[in-house]
Amino acid sequence: MLPYKVVLWGGLSILTYVYVVGELSHFLLGIVSRPMAQDIHYGDKACLPNPEVKLQSRDCKDIKNDTACELFSDFDFIQLCVWDYSGLGIDYQILAGPAFVAVFTAAGVFIGFLADRVNRKVVVTVCCGILTLSTGLMGAAVSYWQLVLLRMLMGAGESAFSPVCSSMISDMFPVSQRAMAIGIFNWGIYFGYGLSYAVGNFITQANISGLGWRWSYILTGLLGVLATILLLFVPEPLRNSQLGDKYTENHLENAETCREDCQSPTLSEEGSPDNLGSPAKSESRVGLWSGESGMKRVLKSLSALPMVIIICAAGIRHTAGFSWAYNTQLYFLTYYPDFNLGLWVTGCSIIGGSLGVAVGGFVSDRLVKRLGIRARLYVLAGSQLLATPFAAGVLYFPPPGAFFSLLGAYLFAEMWFGVLFAVILEIVPSTVQSSAIAVFLFIMNNIGGNLPVLVDPIARALDYRSALLIMYPGGYLVSSVIFFLASFFV
């Protein structure tokens, strides 16, 4: 039998890898939107740099009609611009946001309640299989409506990852390590998002078998197959509502002592978890089918004033993150078409995001011992405030300076996610954690996932860069103020 710590950290590693695949699938659209739009024909048309010309012209974006665009050439009469699908427009914003979020949030609530009632590992494994299938099929889509349907299916598949896996991790780790463990799990966001730029750019440019962007989705689907298989080896942890946090602490520190003190049937003679894979039975567990009491507990937890304020702050912070994530590639293609993103965004996301979430969890875990749960809200408010000037710098400086500013923005801004989930898990009852997180995510993602569509009308009224300034660093600043306000009510 494997030692408990091997099972513990091995399970966390697999869950993190699953999240990587989910986020890679989620954000790949923003990187390959232009070649997809030009192949399938959706969204706005614009004057774009001629891809056949070695030196890409920055002047094409200022031309507003097709005739002038086609006539724009250099002194050698080489056509510098072409009138083609840009990958932007309301069709893209709907595909990126509402089409995904509508199902992601609705399914997330149902799955969250379901996970409080049945084996969580089974739920995550099935959803990972759905995500894998829909991602692979995206590479075979030939019309816009197919993209919308598959994008919705992807949202349903990924909806289980955050609430259900967070609940599992909460039961695997003690309070003193919970924020750090959830922070490590949330590395999946930054690795997945960062890798989407490497996969979306390099695999598309490789044009394998002449399929271009389609192979980006096919490769991601293959990674999903591996993730689904690995989930079969993750044990289902017993819930803290059955054993209490004291058991989890003792179990982690000394499995032998815990077997004697806690009288737990989950340990073998070697101190390994024999029954972690079996769904435990407990009358204290509350789910969707537990009747009015279950729903009351969830709604009561989330309707408390501190949680309402936290939900508002999280929704605005999520809006800022999605506004940038969905428009990063297209922003640089619009303003700096001659600059090759390469691995710049991949590196900034993975390095800055991973360090940020680890530091956020570490700092909040230390401060919470002295200041209580309020300390986590101080970390949330302070990190977003520090990230604001760096986010503004991303849109002010040309590359490569923009990417050094982006690194700083990720380092501070991404301290929030693991800390946020630690706050929620410490506020809501353990018997409805998956349900409460699912409802919380439903609200947060409906705000953060849908508001980025405002980028398009704001850009039409002002310009693309100004729209991102309002939605990206502006969102960080507003969320910082609201997180700080929440600390007075905890």
Q: Give yes or no: residues 136 and 183 share one domain.
A: yes
Residue that terminates a domain, selected from 57, 85, 113: 85
User: What are the backbone angles phi and psi of residue 101, rounded to the nearest 5°?
Assistant: -70, -35
Structural contact between residues 380 and 483, judged by C-beta atoms closer than 8 angstroms:
yes
Residue that terminates a domain, selected from 85, 115, 138: 85
> How far apart, in whole angstroms, are the C-alpha atoms of residue 472 and residue 459?
13
Q: Give yes or no: residues 57 and 114 share one domain.
A: no
Query: DSSP H helical segments within 275-373, as ranges?
Result: 292-303, 305-325, 328-335, 344-348, 354-371
What is the extent of the structural domain holding 13? Answer: 4-41+88-237+292-486
User: For the chain, what is the total number of helices (H) and then of strands (E)?
Assistant: 26, 2
Q: Give yes or no: residues 9 and 66 share one domain.
A: no
Measured CA distances, 452 to 229, 318, 421 (Å): 35, 10, 23
Would 260 be classed as within a structural domain? no
Would 335 be classed as within a structural domain? yes
Instruction: Count CB neighbours of 394 within 10 A.
Output: 26
Q: Give yes or no: residues 190 and 209 share one domain.
A: yes
Secondary element (H or E) of residue 107: helix 98-115
Instruction: Count CB neighbours of 339 within 10 A.
Output: 17
Would 261 be classed as within a structural domain? no
> How far apart, in whole angstroms, are the C-alpha atoms of residue 417 and residue 383?
11
Secondary element (H or E) of residue 49: strand 45-49
Number of compact structural domains in the chain: 2
> How far apart, in whole angstroms, are the C-alpha atoms of residue 33 and residue 88?
8
Q: Give yes or no: residues 420 and 402 share one domain.
A: yes
Q: Give yes or no: residues 212 and 70 share one domain.
A: no
Compute the 3-state secondary structure of the chain and give helix, strand, coil in percent, each to the nearest 5.
75, 5, 25
Q: Give yes or no: residues 402 and 305 share one domain.
A: yes
> How far apart, in whole angstroms, are the C-alpha atoms of residue 369 and residue 69?
62
Structure tokens that stand for 18 in this block: 């699953």
Measured CA distances, 117 to 232, 335, 431 (Å): 19, 50, 10
Q: Give yes or no: residues 398 and 482 share one domain.
A: yes
pLDDT per residue as tens, the chain (490 positions): 566 677 788 889 999 999 999 999 999 998 999 999 999 999 899 999 888 887 777 888 888 888 888 888 776 778 888 999 988 888 998 898 888 988 888 887 788 778 778 888 899 999 999 999 999 999 999 999 999 999 999 999 998 888 888 888 888 887 767 767 877 888 888 889 889 988 998 999 888 888 899 999 999 999 999 999 999 988 888 776 544 444 444 444 444 344 334 433 333 333 333 333 333 333 344 444 444 456 677 777 788 888 899 999 999 999 999 999 889 988 998 888 878 776 888 888 888 887 887 787 777 777 766 777 788 888 899 999 999 999 999 999 998 899 999 999 999 998 887 788 778 877 777 667 767 777 887 888 888 888 888 998 999 899 899 999 999 999 999 999 999 998 888 7
**pTM of the model as a whole:** 0.75
Q: Give yes or no: residues 436 and 455 share one domain.
A: yes
Q: Give yes or no: residues 103 and 81 share one domain.
A: no
Angle at the Cα of 426 (from 371 to 190), degrees rounded to 5?
Answer: 95
Would 133 be classed as within a structural domain? yes
Instruction: Count CB neighbours of 54 within 10 A.
Output: 7
Would 127 be classed as within a structural domain? yes
Would 279 be classed as within a structural domain? no
DSSP letter at 88 equals -
Residue that terminates a domain, selected from 85, 116, 149: 85
Secondary element (H or E) of residue 101: helix 98-115
Structural contact between residues 347 and 414, judged by C-beta atoms closer than 8 angstroms:
no
Structural contact between residues 399 and 344, judged by C-beta atoms closer than 8 angstroms:
yes
CA atoms within 13 A on the CB side of 51: 9
Would 256 be classed as within a structural domain? no
Query: 150: exposed, middle or buried (C-beta count within 10 Å: 0-12, 13-18, 19+)?
Result: buried
Q: Give yes or no: residues 80 and 175 share one domain.
A: no
Structure tokens that stand for 27 in this block: 């954000």
Domain CATH code at residue 380: 1.20.1250.20
Q: Give yes or no: residues 346 and 465 share one domain.
A: yes
Would 254 be classed as within a structural domain? no
